[in-house]
Structure 1
Amino acid sequence: MRIKFLSVLFSLFCLVSYVSIAQINDLKSGFLHPANKYTPGVYWYFMDGNMTAESITKDLESMKKAGIGNLIFLEVNVGVPRGNVDFLSDKWTSLFAHAEKEARRLGIEITLGIGPGWTGSGGPWVKGSQSMQHLVSSETLVSAGDRKKIVLPVPPPKTPFFGEDSFTPEFKENWLKYYQDVAVLAFPLPKANGKITDIDEKALYQRAPYSSGLVKDHLAAPDNSKGNPASAIPKNKIIDLTARMLPDGTLNWSPPAGKWKIMRFGSRNNGAITRPAPAPGIGFEADKFDTTALNAHLDVYLGKIFRKIGKIDKNNTGGLKRLHMDSWEMGAQNWTANFRREFIKRRGYDPLKYFPVYSGNIVGSLKESERFLWDLRQTSQELVIANHAGFVKQYAKRHHLSLSIEPYDMNPASDLELGSIADVPMAEFWSKGYGFNSSYSVIEGTSIAHVMGRSLVPAEAFTAQDNEGWKQHPGSMKNQGDWAFAAGVNRFVYHTFQNQFLPDSLKPGATMGPYGVHWDRSQTWWPMVGSYHDYVSRCQYILQQGRTVADVLYVTPEGAPHVFVPPSSAILGDTIGDRKSFNFDGIAPAQLMLASVKGNKIQFPGGASYEIMVLPIFETMTPELLEKIGSLIQQGATVIGNPPLRAPGLTNYPQADVKIISMVTRIWGSTAVPATLEYRKYGSGTLIWGRPVLEAKDKLYPDYDLTAKILKRKGIEEDFVADKKLRYTHRTSPDWDIYFVSNTTPNEMVANARFRTAKGAPELWNAINGKMSQITNFKTTGAMTSIPIQLAAFESAFIVFAKEDIRKPEPAAIPVEQTLQVLGGHWKINFDKHWGGPEEIIVDSLSDWSKNSNEGIKFYSGAATYHQSFEFKGNKTKPVYIDLGLVKNMARIHLNGKEIGTLWTAPWKLEITDDIKQGTNTISIEVINLWANRLIGDEQKPYDGIVGNKWPDWLVKGQKRTSGRFTFSTTRQYRATSPLLPSGLLGPVKIIQ
């Protein structure tokens, strides 16, 4: 019997080992040849009717050839004369159907925005009654004994956040025309004139963009002070006169003794306009609280598209796959026709007598009014989530589509709450130095995905403005791209691929005004970009496997609006700040309700788990959330945080406050915060609190060092430590651990790194060339593995620990590079005459084109090919490489007539062991620079482009250009005096071992 048991046990061990090895082999295969779904994507922008079937097909075919596998389709109007295809016309929908069919043919996924422009959901078909609304008011003062007829003025609309400059006359007329009475209230005039501060933000009349630095990341907890009692309106003195007002605004009422204020409340459009929409798509934004209004919009816009393209087959690899809500840029609303009814249902009391608070009046007390405003914002958030995002998700599902959301910027809800609705939470980051810092959205998007178990985390990538001017290229973007990968992004969706509707002879061609990183087929380097996309696809494949390891979970405060920003002490750097040795995520209260505890770790159904949870330093918390936190601690969780002082809103007030204090006393043991850090056992878990928690630089969370110290005391090793500037991220599964590491400096380095895993002997996987090599020089101590890692400037690598790889370490020295020969002497260089270059020149040494006295070379943009023959007399006992030294900006190498590869970043070298031969060899190096120099050169010549929003006559009439310019673009980002950019093969070119 014992022998049989051992035999079965051995068989099971062999089966598990076989499965593990098979999974690693599958991982290797996927890394070498990533499937189409792991490729990067683009924002595919169309410019207000400028579109043709030919340009659509050319764009899509160029994407496929270059390794782009998905796109987001949007039409806008940014700085280009209108085309002849009206948005949503029969011709337009036919062209969209053509694009969708071509995408299916090519296996390219389409994600479609849910409205014209990039910002929201609306259009000219949205009526005022179904638009985003504000509750506005007018005030009239009366006294007892006044014999004048009381006529209440119609409340005016609030000034739109973006102003009225983009309003068409028709839109402005409709905006001013829409009005609907809601209520009339009267109350005795308070003795003092106190007002609530920041009322436009607190009452959701405005929500400014967080990325622009115009607004706080969160609102403070409701104020517990009473303020000046003389400023308050006694709630029991407020009289509802709604039924006393006639249609013309006349009020049939005689005021009692004293002075009275009468407020007429009405609903008006909030001034949010579809932006920057094509002209036929300009209109009201649909009501974000009302499913009927949203459904009406979706059926006009998407319904027309669906009827044209037919039933969506979810089994197709390409074509329409997803709907998309882009960054929230339509401001806030605080009213809808059924808002009062929804408020009563959700908060448990009637808001009618608190309507004066909307305009900053104090009802009852300042404390009571601030609590009402919290309830107002919370109700608004719930309606946005359920009736807008939730409804769009249901709508998408009915049509076999999923939903992606960028839940940030002017969002009047909590970003994490809104984003958790998405099938695909999405982030955004701008090119460093070329616009805003929205890196916080990457932290939010990845947090949502990790907590909710979403494997895909795309980001609108490398968005730009501020005279980016075609300066970016794969090599310049490497460091920031690796930051995004380490931060948790695992799909780049480049902003932007502008539809190239102009003739192919006119380059750089069409742009989205000054915006975007120009990721399209008119780029100089587009023929070589596939090599870079291979790198990105390999990274994205690995970073979508398993789950991300993070030890710390930051809970956000309840309430809206809210942007999750971790303590700055947990980040190294600024715009592209890297995580420290304990990674983290943020979580919204609604998501936390999904948590449980297993093995003293906080876990979620999607697989995420955390060693420790950190509460916000915030005065309020609802009893429901506090009960959940207490339950998690009882089950074994470790939690850092001081107790709340009270509940936030007026629901069950004041009993809710009493309940909070009772629960705090039970969980924390006391309401008095101890002077030192205290570890309190509660059930099976530990609660850590005290004054040191409050001594935080960022005010909302304790400093990272305190959290790290607590983790170490708990026996948790740092996940990754290095003695040089390396960033990292760590993904895990039962069979492997994989770390992505990246050199954050422009210098070569050898770093000693320590990894929190001992699953097996490590391998280094190079995502640039797909090569996998065993690491022999490593040391395992307990659960940690130490490895010396050599990386070139901004180079990255995957360090893979496979459970079944049990090799023993073999100490080895870092290899020393040896130069066999330098390819000096004569180089023949061929330029393209079409772009002003000389057909052929011969040089004795390599130099920067922009320093050349020949203007055809000095201002040259495009490809030039370097040729040389050389004698090779070395041996091949070790691998042989060619090293190009320095290249501006990409290079493709042929050796002895065979293409060897394309280089776009350091190290600028390729292995040529099998291709170099003894004796004479011929080499050609095709080098491509950027558009800037040719554009600057053309600024020396007469301007013949767009003037007054009109195309030039020579273009419209098909005439020959007479300006002498080589380039043409729809935007102008250079002057004749702009500095030229270094260009060409700068070398030295060497054969090395």
Structure 2
Amino acid sequence: MNTPFHKWAAISAAAILTAAVALSASAAGPRLEQAFKRPPASARPWVYWFWLNGNITSHGITADLEAMKRVGIGGVLIMEVDQGAPLGPVGFMSAEWRALFKHVASEAKRLGLEVNMNNDAGWNGSGGPWIKPEQSMQKVVVTETNLAGPRRFEGTLVQPQTVAGFYRDIAVLAAPTPGAFRIGRINAKAAYEVAHVGVETFTNLPPEMVIERERIVDLTAKMDANGRLTWDVPPSQWTVLRFGHTSTGVENAPAPVSGRGLECDKLSKEGIEANFAGMMAKLAADNGLVAADVSRLKLKGDQSGLTSAATGLETRFGLVATHIDSWENGSQNWTARMRAEFRQRRGYDLLPFLPAFTGRVVGSHEITERFLWDSRRTISELVVENYAGHMRALAHKHGLRFTVEAYGSPCDNLPYAGESDEPMGEFWIPSGGAIETCRGMASAGHVYGKRIVGAEAFTAADQEKWLEHPAAIKALGDRAFCEGINRFVFHRYALQPWGSPRGITAVGTDARSRTDIPRGEDRRPGMTMGPWGQHYERTQTWWDWTAGWHEYLARCQFMLRQGHFVADICYLQAEASPQGLGGHERNGYDWDDCPAEVVLTRMSVKDGRLMLPDGMSYRVLALPDSPTMTPALLRKIKELVAAGATVIGPRPAKSPSLSGYPQCDEEVKRIADELWGDGVMENRSDATRTTDSSTPTLQHSTALFPQRRFGAGRIVWGITPEKVLAQAGVPADFTSRPRLRAIHRATDDAEIYFVANSKPHDVEAVCTFRMSGRQPELWWPDTGRVEAAAAWEQEDGSTSLPLRLEPAGSVFVVFRKGAQPADPVVALSRDGKPLLPPATPTPKITVQRAVYGVLDDPPRTRDVRAKVQRLVDNGEDSFKVARLAEGDDPAQGAVKTAVIEYTVGDRRITVTGRDADTVHLPEFAPSIVVQRAVYGVLDDPKRTRDMRTKVQRLVDAGEYSFQVARLAEGDDPAFLVVKTLIVDYTLDGKPVTATGTDPETLYLAQPPVPVVERVAEVRRGADGKPQFSAWQPGRYEVKTASGKTQRIDVAALPSPLEVRGPWEVRFAPGWGAPGKVTFDALTDWSKHPDPGVKYFSGEATYRTTFRWNHQSQIANRKSQISLDLGKVAVMASVKLNGQDLGTRWKPPFTVDITRALKRGENTLEVRVVNLWINRMIGDEQLPEDSERNPDGTLKKWPPWLQQGKPSPAGRYTFTSWRLWKKDAALRESGLLGPVTLRVAEQVTMSGR
């Protein structure tokens, strides 16, 4: 029976159908495929390259850059910081420093690497010793003097706060002294701090609490330069306010002393000009850059993203960009021209409203809040235009492009990002912290036409400690790709000043080398960037094993720069500066956030679609859940609807601004009445199903929901965008069962979907794509293999196909024009039992009850069952509880609780959590009761905490595993010390004890890992014919869409052969292990009795022999033999009979050995590398060799290091910040196995 794949809930754990033939398509098809297989240098990942506190050498620079080139790194983002390393000899921006930087640029050109230089020392903002106080960030300061009239006052007003020796007066105002009422959250509303300000509820205040505008007296001219005021005070009580501005005092950080200074003014062009002149202009001149160079930098780039040979565009190497990183500078609310800028932008004078900066009310509560809204908006615009926009202009003038992490500032994030050439987000290991910045910056890239969106990738706190490696972080990286990132900048690589380059040409005469940082041999792991970030240097044990990982990333980044992102929904952000980054559900329909600026200046309508000039388009525009909108924006919304757009959202009631008040409110009401009418529902019955991402229109729905026609378009309200799309006949763009992550891009010639499995085990899923009439292809980024899918089904404008993905596996599913569909397989059975379609669907989470709010107060509680079900259906089985407040906060300002009851099959599970918690909805439900949980330095009661309640809360929220260091959040019992957690608990009534240290993940209970057994698969050979492979015997039947059936009998297959050894193991010399050890059976190095093996870190080679005698005897059949290494800690490479079969940097550690295997005796060599941890713990058993602070930092460089000698204590490792103690647990290491050979029988089938 032909059952359409898209109706299958999941695929059985018994079958997988893929393909193995490269196809040709349109003219661009072969070029795209060629570049995918061999991605251009521009697609390679970068690293944050941290220089530590003046410890810089030319030979270290060259060795680092050569090491990066060797493994496939494409560029560096340089920052110099002070993070725990003793002070080095090279002062920031000194003549020597600049010569070394010139050496960097020269070497990067030689090696084909790109260099991006942060625009100051440290990692936040823009500043340095060249910034004068008057050029620095400014804030409003005020003093007040209370006077009683009538009288003549002659006296000196107290000067407001002075910072950095700088102060200037703004104005002196007097007003009748009002009552005690002050506006809440005034520091946020007056932009003294960076914080989102939501919709306000205005209070009708009694007159005595309000300052009438007409009674404010401007006394500025009556005060002399010394602050002496002469004034005839009228009758009554008066308050005199002296307003001025001074520096905020914020400095760039964490910078070395030689590069530290005030942060520049972000609201004036003069501020960033001073900063640029102090540093980047000099570096650009040193390296001979001119404005013409920027034309060759691919700022938007050829949309194909193909190699320079294919496009004719030049990719420049050396110094190519400058960067602004994290905004960690606080806020500023004044600049010298603030009053003039405000009047020009808002149309009125801010002077009478200056008392609002103290929280006082002028005119009325609403009028004052409107002024403060205008003030924040003006600040946002000035940051965007005068800081970010002018920075880009300066960069381009000097031949550089401009990158920025555009969030956390007192401005709207997306317009800030839009002023860059490449916006950047960030995400943190282990759990993806700050991943929302990736989605936000991707939205900015899409709506402002930026082809490359970067990310500070795999950032970490001090718990990483050399624990991570490519396989451990791949799933999180794939998640970032699915958020829209297409350039990883690894955080981080610390410059290694020691060691010699490998086989390089002589260093140029302009490079300088220090004698007080000896060349010597490498110090491993060497320099660190404090305890922070992932340790991603050439001194890693596995560094030279990462070429395949970087090639994987380059293929992904190349493909994810093709064409345009496909999104159905454009979410308009509210006009409320500073506007942060949104988050919306993805129920099969993807989205972008969009600021009002883009709608006003870049958006149009064509054939019913909302269009942007760079090629992006959307089916619907969703309005924010806000009662306010400026008249200008609402006029543009009206224009878009009249032109044919579908706009979804509530009617605004008034303007948020004081500009044009009160006429502005009247205009908003008039336009809203035109668009929304009287709210009466209109309905149509002319729905049209769309078939692919290029379909330009969204027709009207047959469903009953509030909507109103206006011109050629319509306004819809009271319904989600996803429902509007679905009821209008638009299928979901991507769905899968079980849930997988995905992102979709489209070119003129191809639809490109990236699909990723986030689970640590094999997953078999059925995926449905909004595409029909084309052959689906599988492009595997880990190998570069391109295949035609062998099994798929097309129906109702969609294509469904089964996918088998390895642990954390991923694939591009590509639909190319001109690729003619073959006759796909639609059914497969074994011994009469169906493998396709599957017999049993994957269990589905069904939310039975979900309540959220202040649970003992029903008016402040909401039923959120539908909202939670949508999250679950969207594949989000964990989320922060506070997300349930989005759009309908039941108790603003209160900490709320969620209780969620759900079923999986016949199991009923309940989880609870509070706003700050992340709840997890696992598909298993152990009963865990925490009896005792103690955390800290366990032999020191003063540095220990009782964590029973906190651990029980995690368990109650469905989190049965967590990183131990999370318990320090909010109450760290021993800062910068590795702490231990002991938990005594019962698991389903049985007593259990678990223990772990900060960097470790503690598992109180683990779900059963699904075993996805491989039984059979069908692929297509190079001749286009299907090829059938079976791992188990049986009578198989294969059916295709055309009705053809083929039966295949597979007799008994050889049982898996385990290679048991004995194993001769040779350890790399110089790291404490014996040269050769024999293992009778595979064992964990950390459990070996020999301390040299137990504490070994590095590479070792296993060697053994085994016999093989099987050979297929059936005509038209052959065997495929795979070698499965089992468990490996952490990477392996394989040779069989002298043939190099490649490196495996991630599980499964399986190799096809069919061609290398021979009958009789075979020789197997497996080279393995582990992590640094064991050797560093082993060294802690030895005497001290350097003077250290309690947190592991050096007090000074040890003399033996400066002299280029080995450690006098016999230690093997050296690092500038020690993070391991002698009693820490060792890590599994080596080849752990079992090592097994498995046989599949292969049959070439008839037909195509």
Pair 1:586-2:593 in alignment: yes
Pair 1:654-2:682 in alignment: no
Decide whether the 8 Å contact of 1:596 with 1:602 is kept in 2: yes
Pair 1:810-2:825 in alignment: yes
Structure 1 residue 935: deviation in Å?
1.5
The residue number in structure 2 matching 1:853 is 1089
Q: Structure 1 CA distance, aligned partners of 2:176 and 2:811?
A: 71
- Of 586, 597, 600, which aligns to 2:605? 597
Please identify runs of 4+ aligned residues in structure 1 that moved more than 6 A.
671-674
The residue number in structure 2 matching 1:425 is 423
Q: Structure 2 CA distance, aligned partners of 1:446 and 1:94?
A: 36
Residues 141/42 of structure 1: CA separation in 2 closer, same or farther (3 Å cut): same
The residue number in structure 1 matching 2:192 is 205
- Of 273, 281, 288, which aligns to 2:259? 281
The residue number in structure 2 matching 1:237 is 215
Q: Structure 1 CA distance, aligned partners of 2:203 and 2:415?
A: 29
What code does the residue aligned with 1:539 have?
C
Pair 1:329-2:328 in alignment: yes
- Of 1062, 1079, 1097, which aligns to 1:826? 1062
Residues 984/952 of structure 1: CA separation in 2 closer, same or farther (3 Å cut): same
Name the SS of the counterpart of 1:266 in structure 2: strand
Range moving further from structure 2, 804-813 or 849-858: 804-813
- Of 101, 105, 115, which aligns to 1:100? 105
Range moving further from structure 2, 634-643 or 816-825: 816-825
CA deviations on 1:18-66 (whole Å, 9 max, x unpaired) are 9952211111101110010011000111012110100000110000011
The residue number in structure 2 matching 1:683 is 711
The residue number in structure 2 matching 1:937 is 1178
Q: Structure 2 CA distance, aligned partners of 1:671 and 1:739?
A: 40
CA deviations on 1:310-331 (whole Å, 9 max, x unpaired) are 2355556311111211121112
Residues 522/875 of structure 1: CA separation in 2 closer, same or farther (3 Å cut): same
Pair 1:196-2:183 in alignment: yes
Pair 1:519-2:543 in alignment: no
Pair 1:501-2:500 in alignment: no
Q: Structure 2 CA distance, aligned partners of 1:231 and 1:853?
A: 80
- Of 1216, 1219, 1225, which aligns to 1:973? 1219
Structure 1 residue 609: deviation in Å?
1.4
The residue number in structure 1 matching 2:755 is 741
What code does the residue aligned with 1:775 have?
A
CA deviations on 1:854-886 (whole Å, 9 max, x unpaired) are 222222211111111222323471333222111
The residue number in structure 2 matching 1:51 is 56
Q: Structure 1 CA distance, aligned partners of 2:90 and 2:41?
A: 32
Decide whether the 8 Å contact of 2:77 with 2:117 is kept in 1: yes
Decide whether the 8 Å contact of 1:21 with 1:804 is kept in 2: yes
Pair 1:448-2:448 in alignment: no
Range moving further from structure 2, 911-920 or 449-458: 911-920
The residue number in structure 2 matching 1:3 is none
The residue number in structure 1 matching 2:692 is none
Residues 199/836 of structure 1: CA separation in 2 closer, same or farther (3 Å cut): same
The residue number in structure 2 matching 1:797 is 811
- Of 887, 894, 898, which aligns to 2:1128? 887
The residue number in structure 2 matching 1:459 is 455
How do 1:255-404 residues align onto structure 2 when only pairs under 5 Å count?
255-312=233-290, 313=293, 314=296, 315=314, 317-404=316-403
Root-mean-square deviation (Å): 2.0
Q: Which structure 2 residue ranges, 5 or more long, are not aligned?
A: 1-22, 297-313, 500-520, 683-703, 829-1015, 1018-1029, 1033-1054, 1113-1117, 1190-1194, 1240-1248
Range moving further from structure 2, 759-768 or 43-52: 759-768
Structure 1 residue 547: deviation in Å?
1.6
Structure 1 residue 678: deviation in Å?
0.5
Decide whether the 8 Å contact of 2:681 with 2:708 is kept in 1: no
Structure 1 residue 671: deviation in Å?
7.4
Q: Structure 1 CA distance, aligned partners of 2:219 and 2:153?
A: 18
Range moving further from structure 2, 35-44 or 952-961: 952-961
Q: Structure 1 CA distance, aligned partners of 2:808 and 2:124?
A: 35
Pair 1:416-2:414 in alignment: yes
Decide whether the 8 Å contact of 2:116 with 2:321 is kept in 1: yes
What code does the residue aligned with 2:807 have?
A
Structure 1 residue 147: deviation in Å?
6.9
Name the SS of the counterpart of 1:485 in structure 2: helix
Structure 1 residue 341: deviation in Å?
0.7
Pair 1:531-2:534 in alignment: no
- Of 1102, 1105, 1123, which aligns to 1:869? 1105
Pair 1:70-2:70 in alignment: no
TM-score using structure 1 length? 0.90
Residues 958/101 of structure 1: CA separation in 2 closer, same or farther (3 Å cut): closer
The residue number in structure 2 matching 1:110 is 115
TM-score using structure 2 length? 0.72
The residue number in structure 2 matching 1:186 is 174
The residue number in structure 1 matching 2:648 is 640
The residue number in structure 2 matching 1:405 is 404
Residues 946/282 of structure 1: CA separation in 2 closer, same or farther (3 Å cut): farther
Pair 1:86-2:91 in alignment: yes
Residues 130/223 of structure 1: CA separation in 2 closer, same or farther (3 Å cut): farther
Structure with more helix by fraction:
1
- Of 679, 686, 707, which aligns to 2:721? 707
Structure 1 residue 749: deviation in Å?
2.2
- Of 898, 902, 906, which aligns to 2:1143? 902
Decide whether the 8 Å contact of 2:42 with 2:315 is kept in 1: no
Name the SS of the counterpart of 1:396 in structure 2: helix
Structure 1 residue 929: deviation in Å?
0.9
Q: Structure 1 CA distance, aligned partners of 2:108 and 2:436?
A: 33
Structure 1 residue 308: deviation in Å?
1.8
Q: Structure 1 CA distance, aligned partners of 2:757 and 2:1216?
A: 38
The residue number in structure 2 matching 1:563 is 580
Decide whether the 8 Å contact of 2:414 with 2:444 is kept in 1: yes
Structure 1 residue 661: deviation in Å?
0.5
Q: Structure 1 CA distance, aligned partners of 2:1066 and 2:40?
A: 37
Q: Structure 2 CA distance, aligned partners of 1:734 and 1:901?
A: 36
Pair 1:785-2:772 in alignment: no
The residue number in structure 1 matching 2:618 is 610
The residue number in structure 2 matching 1:990 is 1236
Range moving further from structure 2, 732-741 or 120-129: 732-741
Structure 1 residue 119: deviation in Å?
0.9
CA deviations on 1:211-232 (whole Å, 9 max, x unpaired) are xxxx5xx311354443443211
Name the SS of the counterpart of 2:234 in structure 1: coil
Range moving further from structure 2, 934-943 or 28-37: 934-943
Structure 1 residue 853: deviation in Å?
2.4
CA deviations on 1:226-246 (whole Å, 9 max, x unpaired) are 344321111111111111112
Name the SS of the counterpart of 2:825 in structure 1: coil
Decide whether the 8 Å contact of 1:523 with 1:931 is kept in 2: yes
Name the SS of the counterpart of 2:741 in structure 1: strand
Q: Structure 1 CA distance, aligned partners of 2:206 and 2:1127?
A: 70
The residue number in structure 1 matching 2:1050 is none
What code does the residue aligned with 2:345 have?
R
Q: Percent identity?
A: 39
What code does the residue aligned with 1:991 have?
L
Decide whether the 8 Å contact of 1:554 with 1:566 is kept in 2: no
CA deviations on 1:591-637 (whole Å, 9 max, x unpaired) are 12211122222121111111222111112111111111122122222
Q: Which structure 1 residue ranges, 5 or more long, are not aligned?
A: 1-17, 158-174, 208-214, 571-578, 694-705
What code does the residue aligned with 1:302 have?
M
Structure with more strand by fraction:
2
Q: Structure 2 CA distance, aligned partners of 1:534 and 1:812?
A: 36
Q: Structure 2 CA distance, aligned partners of 1:244 and 1:656?
A: 36
